[in-house]
Structures are given as C-alpha cells and as structure tokens.
Structure 1
Amino acid sequence: MTATTGRRVDTRTVLLDAAKTVLLTQGYAGLSTRSVAAKAGTQMSQIRYHFGSKEGLILALFERMNDDLIARQAATFENPDLPLSRKWALSCDYLEADLASGFVRVINELIAAGWSDEAVGGVVRPALRRWYELILRLVRQFEREHGALGPFAADDVAALVASAFMGAETHILLGYPADRFPAIRALRRFGTLIESFEKD
C-alpha cells in the first residue's frame, strides 16, 4: 500500500466517524456535508471526492455500521459452543450496550431516512434482510434440535424475533419508560423460555 493510499483510507474513515458523531448528536436533519467536514477537520471537497455526495456518505456509513453489527452477531450465532439461550442473552446484552453508546439511534436514523429516500431505502432493505436471514438460520438450527414451535414456521419465528428487537429499539428511543413498557425485560424473559426448551 502506498502512502497516498494510506492517507485516502484514513480520510475516508475519519469522515465516516465524523458523520456518525454528527448523526448521533444532531440527527439526520442536522447532518450536512458542512457539519461533517467541520467535525472531521477537513474540506467539504473531501466528502465529494470519497463519497460523491451527502447521500453517498450516508449509504457508506450505514453499510459500514451494519457490516460491523452483522459480523458481531454472526460470530455469536454461529458459535457451536453456545446454547441458543446464551446467544439470546448475548443479543440482549448487545442491544443494551448499543443503546447506551448511541449506536442504535444512529442505525435507526439511517433506517428512517430510507422511508423517504429511495436510494437510502435501496441499501437499508437488503441490509435488514441480512439480519432476518441470520436469525432464520438460527431458528432452523433450533428446529432441527428441538422441533418446531407449534404452528409457527421458521420464517414466522424469524420475522417475529426481528420485529421484537426492532420494536423494542423504537419504543426505547421514543422514551417509553421501562416500568410502563418493559421491552428489554420481556426480551430477556423470552430467553428464559428458550432455556426451558433446551432442558427438556
């Protein structure tokens, strides 16, 4: 790798980190090429050079963050030494950690942008599909080991699990108090239910 290539990679990373910070502190409405460049300590022309536009920057940020999350979750789900109940508990741990760090808010800001921006939506939809397929593989493994969950097909269960976690994120980000909408507690208790299946 040449020195020039190294500088290019570093600048791109700095810009993505700055975009994440701006998105977290100012929301999607406050994210502009000017605000990102200022946070990164560089010129707006660098954003155009590396990403083409604000939209290109946003798409690159979403893909990077989603890739990181998918890799972490896949490493957990595909670990043969962990029972499903432990994988579920770790997923709840990750959710709480990502809420505390602001990671969940950033991802959801980007998802919301995809509702009105077709180019963003075109990246968000397949990214979320990767989450669903990861969960679906895990459910199918559970079915092989413990049998089907009553009338629910594997894709039914995967859809419900994905919706449960995303719904929990939405309610928490909207400020619902845990004593009135116990999203995390409910998710963790479902893990206890999974553990009871494993003991049978």
Structure 2
Amino acid sequence: MTDDSEIPSPQGAPRRRASPRVSGRAAGATRDRLIDAALDAFGRYGFDAASTREIARLAGTNLAAIPYHFGGKEGLHIAVARHIADEVHGRLGGVVDQAEAALSAGTIDPPAARVMLHALLDSGAAMILGHPEAARWAPFIIREQAQPSAAFDVIYDGFMGRAHVVATRLFAIATGRPAEAEATIVRVLGLFGQLIVFRMARALVERRLGWTDYGPGEIALVTAMLHEHLDAMLDAQREAEAKR
C-alpha cells in the first residue's frame, strides 16, 4: 500500500504523478484510517502509552503519515476527539438544534419543555446504546473525563456542553427553577448520567443483567426507566416550586 501521491506504473515504466483528485482521495482515506486506528489505541492505552508506530501499522501506512496529516501525535489525538464530536452531533444535532431554536424564539412552555426533554432522552439512548460505534467512543471519552486534555475541550465544545446547556434550560422551564442554579445542573447531570452508566459500566451491566449487547428490547427497557425518572423528577420539582 502506498501513501504518497504517485501511482505505480507497469513494470519497467517510469512512475507518474497521481492526479490531484486521486491524490486527494488517497490522502483522505489515509487520514481516516489513522483516526480509526488511533481511536482504539488512545481509548485502550491512553495518550502517553499509545504507540504511533502501532497506530500507523494498523492504519496500513507509514509513521511519517502522522506528522504529515496531523502535525504529530497531539494533532492526531485532537482529530480523534473532533471525529467523535462530529459523529455525535450528526446524530443528536437535529433534536438539539430544534430545542435551541424554540428556546431562542421563547415559544416553549412547561409542557413543551417536558416533551423536548423526553425527545432528548430518546435520541441519546438510541445513539449511546444503539449506535455500533458508541462502544469504541466510550473508552476515549472516559479517559478524557478522568484526565482532561485539549481533546476534552473539543468534545465539550462540539456536543457535550451544548447538549447539557439545552437540557438544563428545558429542565428550568419545565420546573420553574433557575437554569444555572446548582440544583438544576446537578439534576440534569444525574438524569443523563443514568443513561451513560449503561455504556460506561458495561461489565457491571453484563454481570447483573446478562446483557452482552443492546438490542431494541434492552434499549426500550432503559429508555422507559429514564422517562419514568424524568417525569417523577419534573413533577417533584414543580410541586416544590408551587409551595415556595
């Protein structure tokens, strides 16, 4: 496999340069393979222990391709984080965009906010539990939660922070509580944390439930629990606010 911009010619013939279109496609494919290999390596071993030589080998390219495409190991690490952020945004962006537009227009009342929170839970569960790549993203994200680097900023700015702010604002409208109050933020973190644990604590889930994967039945059961907890939380907060 070659990673330069030349196309091998018939035996004995001089080599010719690839067209810009062919060269661009080849470079893009190499870049994608490096990101794919690095996602697993960084998730399994962490940034420091991950071997760039092994990443290049798994990607079917040479070591020089990493500085060529990413400027070095740090740039590759950031590119993996951006890849995850883009993938998640592609699956959650629609419901988040819709909620943001309604929030900006000021057209959301408490019942509508409740409906949108349920929609966020549905979309989140479908992606976190149902998307085949989510299991590969999880180790990388867990490491960034434990030891944040510049890659965490990419993930946070790319989808995590934005989605949480939207959910917090919806929760505030649904309950009548301030959006930036610590109690509101804690409750939203706890609500979505109940979903995330089913991806991050896979060994515990398998040991206690015997689930080796998440099919429609398993996802439906988890989602039903989340909806129950959301409704109970919103009802309790509305009742407490009414008594103040």
156-165 or 103-112, which moves further after superposition? 156-165
Tell whether the 8 Å contact from 1:32 to 1:54 is kept in structure 2 after alignment: no
The residue number in structure 2 matching 1:135 is 164
Unaligned runs of 5+ in 1: 115-120
Q: Does 2:136 align with 1:102? A: yes
- TM-aligned CA distance change 1:124 to 1:85, over 3 Å: same
C-alpha separation in 1, matches of 2:94 and 2:76: 27
Tell whether the 8 Å contact from 2:85 to 2:155 is kept in structure 1 after alignment: yes
Match of 1:125 among 130, 153, 160: 153
Instruction: Please provide the CA RMSD for this pair.
Output: 3.7
Q: What one-letter code is carried by the residue in structure 1 that aligns with 2:142?
A: N
Q: Percent of counterpart pairs with the same letter?
A: 19
Q: Cα distance, 1:169 vs. partner?
A: 3.8
The residue number in structure 1 matching 2:125 is 92
Question: What secondary structure does 2:176 align onto?
Answer: coil
- TM-aligned CA distance change 1:41 to 1:110, over 3 Å: farther
Tell whether the 8 Å contact from 2:169 to 2:179 is kept in structure 1 after alignment: yes
TM normalised by structure 1 equals: 0.70
Q: Does 2:20 align with 1:20? A: no
Q: Cα distance, 1:83 vs. partner?
A: 3.7
- TM-aligned CA distance change 1:179 to 1:21, over 3 Å: closer
The residue number in structure 2 matching 1:189 is 225
Runs of 4+ in 1 over 6 A off after TM superposition: 184-187
Tell whether the 8 Å contact from 1:140 to 1:154 is kept in structure 2 after alignment: yes
- TM-aligned CA distance change 1:27 to 1:7, over 3 Å: same
Q: What one-letter code is carried by the residue in structure 2 that aligns with 1:61?
A: V
C-alpha separation in 2, matches of 1:41 and 1:194: 47
Tell whether the 8 Å contact from 2:53 to 2:63 is kept in structure 1 after alignment: yes
For 1:156-175, what per-residue CA distance to the aligned partner results, in whole angstroms no more than 9, with x for missing partners? 43454346545844994484
C-alpha separation in 2, matches of 1:4 and 1:158: 48
For 1:68-103, what per-residue CA distance to the aligned partner results, in whole angstroms no more than 9, with x for missing partners? 213322223334696421321331332223586332
Q: Which has the larger radius of gyration?
A: 2
